[in-house]
Amino acid sequence: MMNAPIRIAIHGGAGTMPKRLMTPEIEAACHDSLQLALQAGYSAMAKGGTAVDGVEAAVRALENAPMFNAGKGSVFTNKGQHEMDASIMNGETLDCGAVAGVSNIKNPVTLARCVMDNSEHVLLLNDGAEEFARLHNIVFEDDDYFFTQLRYDQWQKAMKKKITVLDHVDDKKFGTVGAVAIDAKGNLAAATSTGGMTNKLYGRVGDSPLIGSGTYANNASVAVSCTGHGEFFIRQVVAYDLHCLMTYKGMGLEEAANHIVHDKLKPIEAEGGLIAIDAKGNICLPFNTPGMYRGWMKSEADYFTGIY
């Protein structure tokens, strides 16, 4: 049994608010929330938990923080609802679980893990996923829990500007959350959770619940969680692309991750970023937006949080 160094990295979404709107109070609150999430994930593994436990704990903390677009604080759909997506993957076994379009689930990442652990399926949708959640005693919250004034105002603004425009939403607030980790046995895991796009229509789903696009983990290479304009991340199969560039092409983590974010995504105006941790514990957090809420922790005393 290995005793590798425990490490975790997280994101709270690429595409942060412009610097001119940022106040010292909001900035401090963001750093605090990121630090709490890192601590939650790190502690879970320090107590003997797996990398899966670590990423689940970190993403739960980010879902519970109202400032990020996942769990509490999720954006409003066109109908004034909250439809959330999440996924999780175990790099040791390649087991994975995901849910898309779920409402009233307090922690979608925990439901995704429940799908992974307690069903033979990978991806469950909407009320089917909620039915599965009830059978497994997953925690539900009423609509009020998910309400935040900021997201409501953003929705109202998007509605007013775009009320007759059916297929274009330009309020591209991301704020998806995610975590990647390596545990003491050297196993990798990744998880992602999101409330999707403000004012979204038609049950639109982005890359967050899609294994290979928004989330991927494989002990042979890397654990990765993505954030950005989801449609591009689906077309480019971003998360699995990182694995393939490392495994088939022999690129290192840094080279492969930067190649994807800056050379492949940036030229096609695919805004976003990713967080990744490789089998040796190297961490890479590239993004092509002005900022990405992010952080990593290598020990209780050695950690980083950043926004721009």
Query: In angstroms, what is the minimal distance from the CB of 60 to its own copies?
Result: 22
Query: In angstroms, what is the minimal distance from the CB of 214 to its own copies?
Result: 11
Question: Which of residues 66, 175, 178, 212 is near its own copies by CB under 8 A?
Answer: 212
Q: What is the CA angle 6-58-286, rounded to 5? A: 75
80 is an interface residue for its own copies by CB under 8 A: no
Report residue 127 as tokens. Answer: 């009320």
Question: Which of residues 9, 65, 70, 245 is near its own copies by CB under 8 A?
Answer: 245
Q: Of residues 100-159, which lie at the interface with its own copies (CB under 8 A)?
A: 100-101, 118-129, 131-132, 135
Question: Which of residues 213, 219, 221, 305 is near its own copies by CB under 8 A?
Answer: 213
Residue 14 has, within 13 A of its CA and on its CB side, a CA count of 21
Rank residues 69 and 208 by Cβ distance to its own copies and give the closer one: 208
Burial class (CB in 10 A: 0-12, 13-18, 19+), 102: buried
Question: Which of residues 241, 265, 273, 283 is near its own copies by CB under 8 A?
Answer: 241
Beta-carbon contacts of residue 125 (< 8 Å; ≥ 6 apart) = 99, 100, 101
How many residues touch its own copies under the rule CB under 8 A: the total is 46
Report residue 104 as tokens. Answer: 């009233």
Phi/psi of residue 295, each to 5°? -175, 165
Stretch that binds its own copies, among 51-59, 149-157, 235-243, 277-285 (CB under 8 A): 235-243
Q: How far is CA 269 from CA 119, 196, 227, in A?
A: 38, 19, 14
202 is an interface residue for its own copies by CB under 8 A: yes
Residue whose entry in the numeric block shows the structure tokens 């950690």: 303
- Positions in the binding site for its own copies (CB under 8 A): 94-96, 100-101, 118-129, 131-132, 135, 166-168, 201-206, 210-213, 216, 230-231, 234-237, 240-241, 244-245, 248-249
